[in-house]
Structure 1
Amino acid sequence: MELTTYVGADALQVADEVESLYREVFSAPPWNEEPAQLATFRPRLEENVSRPGFRLVTAVVDGEVRGLGAGWPTSPPFRRDRSYGEVFDEFGAVQVERELVGAFEVDELAVHPESQGLGLGRAVLNTLCGGEPSWLLTAHQAVDTVAFYRRIGWRELLPQVAEPRLAVFVSV
């Protein structure tokens, strides 16, 4: 496995490869994203590379990108677009401010299904976060993904609602 870190717009050098991996991972269960949802990845990547502190890490195995991670530091004020509004509602302003704002946000983490269980996800995540306080969110429906974050020692935040849809984890 070869890990490579791209900073800012340099990530666009591998945009085709990471988009292909993203589509393969997130079109399958438990995500089952529709083609319209999958099509938003590339424009988001092209926008996100301009965020201060943006990083993309790829894991290449046998010449193919088999893992990816992308993120940036969360700056105030906490966003409300995409799933951020739901995070704010489920976890509350105090916890969001204390745990998430200022920490490195893992926006995407994906490992090809045939490469799962080989340590790629952990390696990509460790390289991407670089020991910085970090956070990420996932859906509770992604049982294996939630179990992975627990297994590698990330701490799950306690929501303020009875039936949360999202699981938010912070690095320890």
Structure 2
Amino acid sequence: MNTRIKVFRDAGLLAHSGALHSLYVSAFCVPPWNEDEARAAEFVGRLVSNVRRLGFTAALAFAGEESLGFATAGTTLAPFPTGRCYPQAAAGLGPERTVDWLCGARAIDELAVRPAAQGTGLPADLLEAVTEDAPGGRSWLLTSVQSSRAMSFYRSQGWTQATHPSPDGNGSAVFLSPRHPARHLAAQPL
């Protein structure tokens, strides 16, 4: 498969909203995520403001005209966000580490690929495309502990799990990128 990845740092990404919606549905409206069309529409709606966010970076992968996957990211501002799953991250790290490790770092918001592109190296390429120029190598993300595939993928890419919610619960785990200076300080599971 001849794949090209285009990086966006502005509203030019919005010209691909239909493809992003389709990719989101194919990746997240299935187990273990089980999201619905409303969440996909919400994601595309958030992009309108996210493209103006400090440090916004997105990568969109194509094979010819077909979109295969995307990743979006942006700088985590202080005070630390309180929406979505962010409170779980803050609770798991504590206030000092949350500010020191995550604020000012590049947060990966979403990473999605079509099922046919999984296992091809494309997810790793998309992740690298949105983190390669992260300030001081500081990138992080949250993922659900219910997705053993996602948890394994991030570990295989050298990301360090920094929080350890119960694997049989509904929690989200914080991962620090391979170049994040605090990755060696992250607590290991008991």
TM-score, length basis structure 1 = 0.93
Q: How much is the aligned-residue C-alpha RMSD, in angstroms?
A: 1.5
1:162 and 1:129 map into 2 onto residues whose CA distance is 28
SS in 2 for 1:4: strand
Q: Distance in 1 between matches of 2:24 and 2:99?
A: 30
Matches within 5 A, 1:8-157: 8-132=10-134, 133-157=138-162
Question: Which consecutive unaligned segments of at least 5 residues does structure 1 have?
Answer: none
Q: Distance in 1 between matches of 2:70 and 2:166?
A: 33
SS at match of 1:39: helix
Q: 2-side partners of 1:44 and 1:6: how far apart?
A: 16
Give, in whole Å, the separation in 2 of the partners of 1:123 and 1:87.
25
**1:131: Cα distance to partner?**
4.4
Give the superposition deviation at 1:56: 1.1
Give the residue type in structure 2 aligned to 1:111.
V
Amino acid aligned to 1:44:
R
1:76-127 deviation per Cα after TM superposition (whole angstroms, max 9, x unaligned): 1101011112221222112211211111110010111111011101001101
Distance 2:153 2:50 in 1: 26
1:117–1:79 CA distance, 2 compared to 1 (3 A): same
Give the number of the structure with larger relative contact order, counting CA–CA contacts within 8 Å between residues 6 or more apart: 1
CA contact (8 A) 1:87 1:166 kept: yes
Following superposition, the deviation at residue 162 of structure 1 comes to: 6.0
3-state SS, counterpart of residue 60 of structure 1: strand
For the Cα contact (< 8 Å) 1:8–1:53, is it kept in 2? no
**Which moves more between the two structures, 83-92 or 103-112?**
83-92
> How many Å separate the matches in 2 of 1:100 and 1:118?
30
Deviation at 1:52, TM superposition (A): 1.6
Which one of the candidate residues 175, 183, 190 is aligned to 1:169?
A: 175
Q: What is the percent sequence identity of the aligned residues?
A: 35
How many residue pairs match? The answer is 171
Distance across 2 between alignment mates of 1:6 and 1:24: 22
